[in-house]
Chain A
Amino acid sequence: MQTRAMSEEPLSREELKHEYHKLIAKRLILIAVGVIGIIVFVGLFSLAVYPGVSLSESYVIIWNHIMGNAYTPRSLEWWADRYIWNTAIPHALAAIIAGAGLAICGSLMQALMSNPLADPYSTGISSGACFGAVASIVVGTAFSTFSGTYGTVFSAFVGAMVPTAIIIILADRIRMTPATLILMGTAISYFFNSMITYLMISTDADTLKNAYLWQIGHLDGMSWDQIFPMFVVTLIGSLFVIFMTNKLNVISLGDNSAKSLGLDVRKFRIISLGIMSVMTAGIISFTGIIGFVGLVSPHIVRLVIGSDNKFVVPLSMILGSLLLLIADYMAYQLSGIPVGVIMSLIGSPVFFLLIVFQSKRTGAVY
């Protein structure tokens, strides 16, 4: 669409400065809204888990726990602290970490692949993870000797790493263009999907429903033990991506331009893919395939502040956390509906409206 962003005449220095400052202000406002939103919803979530206290009291309880203040056992505060700290906070943290991680992976993939439809699952990670999880649910044998939940988590993680491993192994033999990479991911995920379908059709209806529920994605029953590995993986991966945003800007100009600007596109793409895969796998092997947030958060950010990855990446993180946290809060209220469903049910109309009514003046990206 040939929309005209500014007037036909080149802007004067003052006008440019004004535009630039407005853009910066917008970014700061978005960050503030995101952070405040996250804090508010953590409080609301605590309230939903333990309605016995008021909203402000729940913040006090969280703050006191962080500060290490203890309560007399079996007092009202003691119970509130137990519930909030062991149920609400892991739940909310899982949503924040998963949302941030998936959103950052989404913005990374969209830049790496120069494709607005790319998401963390574009190279087939989700289907690999799914295959691992479904295999352990249906067949009962995991790729490890762990049993129960951790068996499923572990085999999902191993499965998720397979597509990336195949791509990295083949990396020397193929032209590493974005189109080839995405198509390879598609090919791999078709293969895994066919195996998943085979497993699911060959099993009984109840197991099929369990496997189906895993695929939709959930955050129920998150505990501190599960948060920790998720957090470490996401932290390391996010730091890498945030330090690489300059290079992401270069690579999104196209491979030839990036090369002429001195970036080893091939190497950068492989390293980024590897890190992104570990990060995504680390998250979804605990939560199941939570869709939407990785694809859409970067787009929403871009619609508001433009495409500079230096800002898109961190803002997507914040927005992704907020989106998943809100969805998780609602899913908790409507117990029985998984968070992945709520996520797309609420998010898709918002996304739809943003695309259709995007402001031509400032943020029109598409």
Chain B
Amino acid sequence: MSSKHQEYHAENRKKVIFTIIFIIIAAAAFFLTLGFGVYKISIVHALEVFFDHLTGNIVDERGDYYIWELRAPRALAAILVGAGLSLAGVVMQNDFKNPLAEPYTMGISSGAFLGAVLAMAYGFYIIPIAGNFGEVINAFVLSLVPTAIIVLISMFRKMTPTAMILTGVAIMFLFSSITQIILVTSPSETVASAYEWRVGTFSSIRWQHIPIMLGVSAPLIVLLMLFYKKLNVMYVGDRSAKTLGEDPRNIRIITLVLVSFLTAILVSFTGTIGFIGLVGPQIARIFVGSNNKYLIPASMAFGAAFILIADTVAKVTGTNGLPVGVISSMVGGPLFLYILAKQKKSAWLRSDYPFAVDLYTGVAELLAYRFQDPLHAGEIGDAGGQHAPVFTAVPAASDELRGDAAHGHHSTLLSHLLDEHPGQLLAPVRLL
């Protein structure tokens, strides 16, 4: 084997080790967190109680209630949410090639919040069921509305990723303004409890919730993980995806629907826990790079470990202490800032493109800029000469492409030029 090969495999081993380390941390945190909470119990004793319950001979009745009935489902939910939201974040960031994309980008959180607030303020339930399941169903159903609208529109007309995100943003604003009207006209207590819901907490999770959460999210997680190859293709851009025989629009829609269901089921039970869906993938990306084969398991392991530890800290601060969302942002925000400031190369912008594409893009950008004025470009086109076809190609590309360039969507500009004038673009590239 050549040394390049060995280097490559050593690199990949590091990525696998990162994942394994965080899986171990998550497992350790699972057992540790059983020992923390309002009910004081030593960690060793908590573990004894836990395994006593598993083996069926319960010695400490009181301890068993706290450890088995309260803390074990809570820890399981934390693992599910941490891993699930991180995975959702990875998929969204790939689908939209945007470092700011996260599970809530499509407006899921605003839908869920509206559902919960409707239940809290007006006692409105889509399906009246006893217990807090009514609120959960409200949140679940409404959180799927934005995605449903986006899917519906894209059945009738082609939507670019940017159009999808902006549609999501529009729906999000609409939902949150309705929520705000409800809250502004509500008594203070409702606002307070709604606020607590939005921050998110695991404290209300019991065993009865786990089968639904797990039953819905586990198949979705597995399905999304199986998409890793297609997501890699998405990452290099729609055009490259097409040349590789994939349909980027279909992949985007399918993964979007899967992500929405996954996110919706998780947040309807716990409230909109922020931070991890955006930052979990980003932190993992800094360590393992952007290949989804490694990135997906790594961010899931990291997310699960991070949320579990954050929830443990939340429990230590007491019942009226800090919710998990606060802890994770308070610790994770500065941590993320530190990692960002330290990294030499931006993981997100590391060029995984072939060199030629960069070159093409550069040329196309330059041309688009220099001939922004169609009249001016027309003159040069008229003047003839070696580059005339390319120069006329650019003003013909015109407004919308300059719009794309202004937004950094070089691939659209490039693909337009390549589609329309395949041979001609090569001339200036050769000159370079």
Which of B2-10, B62-70, B206-214, B332-340 sits within the interface? B332-340
Interface residues of B in 261-286 (CB under 8 A from A): 274-275, 278-279, 282
Task: Assess the B348–A10 pair: CB atoms within 8 A.
Answer: no
Which of A31-39, A254-262, A316-324 sits within the interface? A254-262
- The docked-state distance in angstroms from the alpha carbon of A335 to that of B408 is 42
Interface residues of A in 49-98 (CB under 8 A from B): none
- The docked-state distance in angstroms from the alpha carbon of A209 to that of B406 is 41
Which of A150-158, A199-207, A272-280 sits within the interface? A199-207
The chain A residue with its CB closest to the CB of B374 is A16
A336-351 toward B: CB 8 Å interface, digit per residue (1/0)? 1110111111011101
Please judge, given known A-B contacts A116-B165, A191-B333, A254-B410, whether A212 and B365 are in contact too, CB under 8 Å: no
Chain A residues lying within 8 Å of B404, measured Cβ to Cβ, are: 365
The chain B residue with its CB closest to the CB of A12 is B378
Task: Assess the B399–A362 pair: CB atoms within 8 A.
Answer: yes
- The docked-state distance in angstroms from the alpha carbon of A343 to that of B274 is 25
Task: Assess the B180–A216 pair: CB atoms within 8 A.
Answer: yes
Task: Assess the A212–B372 pair: CB atoms within 8 A.
Answer: no
Q: Which of B177, B327, B368, B374 has the most CB of A within 10 A?
A: B177
Task: Assess the A253–B369 pair: CB atoms within 8 A.
Answer: yes
Task: Assess the A336–B185 pair: CB atoms within 8 A.
Answer: yes
Instruction: Decide if A19 is an interface residue (CB 8 Å cutoff).
Output: yes
B68 CB, min distance to chain A CBs, angstroms: 28
Task: Assess the A366–B160 pair: CB atoms within 8 A.
Answer: yes
Which residue of the partner chain, among B162, B274, B337, B399, contacts A184 with CB atoms under 8 Å? B337
Please judge, given known A-B contacts A10-B396, A351-B170, whether A253 and B346 are in contact too, CB under 8 Å: no
Task: Assess the A351–B166 pair: CB atoms within 8 A.
Answer: yes
B329-353 toward A: CB 8 Å interface, digit per residue (1/0)? 1101110110011011110110000
Task: Assess the A295–B195 pair: CB atoms within 8 A.
Answer: no
Instruction: Decide if A239 is an interface residue (CB 8 Å cutoff).
Output: no
Instruction: Decide if B240 is an interface residue (CB 8 Å cutoff).
Output: no
- The docked-state distance in angstroms from the alpha carbon of A306 to that of B150 is 24
Task: Assess the A8–B100 pair: CB atoms within 8 A.
Answer: no
Instruction: Decide if B304 is an interface residue (CB 8 Å cutoff).
Output: no
Chain B residues lying within 8 Å of A175, measured Cβ to Cβ, are: 343-346
Task: Assess the B329–A13 pair: CB atoms within 8 A.
Answer: no
Task: Assess the A208–B374 pair: CB atoms within 8 A.
Answer: no
Instruction: Decide if A193 is an interface residue (CB 8 Å cutoff).
Output: yes
Instruction: Decide if B244 is an interface residue (CB 8 Å cutoff).
Output: no
Interface residues of B in 164-199 (CB under 8 A from A): 165-167, 169-174, 176-178, 180-181, 183-185, 187-189, 191-192, 195-196, 199
Interface residues of B in 61-84 (CB under 8 A from A): none
Chain B residues lying within 8 Å of A192, measured Cβ to Cβ, are: 333
Which residue of the partner chain, among A179, A257, A348, contacts B174 with CB atoms under 8 Å? A348
A155-192 toward B: CB 8 Å interface, digit per residue (1/0)? 00000000000100010011101111011101111111
Instruction: Decide if A249 is an interface residue (CB 8 Å cutoff).
Output: yes
Interface residues of B in 385-416 (CB under 8 A from A): 392-393, 395-408, 410, 412, 415-416
- The docked-state distance in angstroms from the alpha carbon of A309 to that of B278 is 30
Interface residues of A in 186-239 (CB under 8 A from B): 186-195, 197-198, 200-201, 204-206, 208-209, 212-213, 216
- The docked-state distance in angstroms from the alpha carbon of A338 to that of B340 is 37
A188 CB, min distance to chain B CBs, angstroms: 7
Task: Assess the B375–A302 pair: CB atoms within 8 A.
Answer: no
- The docked-state distance in angstroms from the alpha carbon of A192 to that of B405 is 34
Instruction: Decide if B17 is an interface residue (CB 8 Å cutoff).
Output: no
Which residue of the partner chain, among A205, A216, A347, contacts B184 with CB atoms under 8 Å? A216
Which of B111-119, B124-132, B318-326 sits within the interface? B318-326
B215 CB, min distance to chain A CBs, angstroms: 31
B102 CB, min distance to chain A CBs, angstroms: 9
Chain B residues lying within 8 Å of A349, measured Cβ to Cβ, are: 170, 174
Which residue of the partner chain, among A19, A186, A254, contacts B374 with CB atoms under 8 Å? A19
Chain B residues lying within 8 Å of A206, measured Cβ to Cβ, are: 188
Task: Assess the B406–A197 pair: CB atoms within 8 A.
Answer: no
Instruction: Decide if A145 is an interface residue (CB 8 Å cutoff).
Output: no
Which residue of the partner chain, among B165, B167, B336, B401, contacts A5 with CB atoms under 8 Å? B401
Task: Assess the B365–A257 pair: CB atoms within 8 A.
Answer: yes
Instruction: Decide if B427 is an interface residue (CB 8 Å cutoff).
Output: no
The chain A residue with its CB closest to the CB of B163 is A366
- The docked-state distance in angstroms from the alpha carbon of A363 to that of B332 is 41
Chain A residues lying within 8 Å of B334, measured Cβ to Cβ, are: 187, 191
Sample of 17 more A-B contacts, CB < 8 Å, known A183-B336, A341-B181: A13-B375, A177-B349, A183-B348, A186-B279, A186-B336, A187-B337, A197-B323, A197-B326, A216-B184, A253-B405, A307-B407, A308-B372, A337-B185, A341-B184, A345-B177, A349-B170, A355-B167
A-B contact pairs, 28 of them (CB 8 A): A2-B415, A6-B396, A6-B398, A10-B381, A16-B374, A173-B341, A175-B345, A179-B349, A180-B348, A183-B348, A184-B340, A187-B279, A190-B336, A191-B330, A194-B326, A197-B199, A198-B330, A250-B369, A253-B406, A254-B365, A257-B362, A308-B372, A338-B180, A351-B170, A355-B166, A356-B163, A365-B403, A366-B166
Q: Which residues of A contact B (CB under 8 A)?
A: 1-3, 5-8, 10-11, 13, 16-17, 19-20, 23, 110-111, 114-117, 166, 170, 173-175, 177-180, 182-184, 186-195, 197-198, 200-201, 204-206, 208-209, 212-213, 216, 249-250, 252-254, 256-257, 260-261, 291-292, 295, 299, 302, 306-309, 336-338, 340-345, 347-349, 351-352, 355-356, 362-366
Q: List 7 A-B pairs, minimum CB-CB distance, nearest first.
A: A191-B333, A114-B408, A205-B188, A194-B329, A307-B406, A365-B403, A190-B333
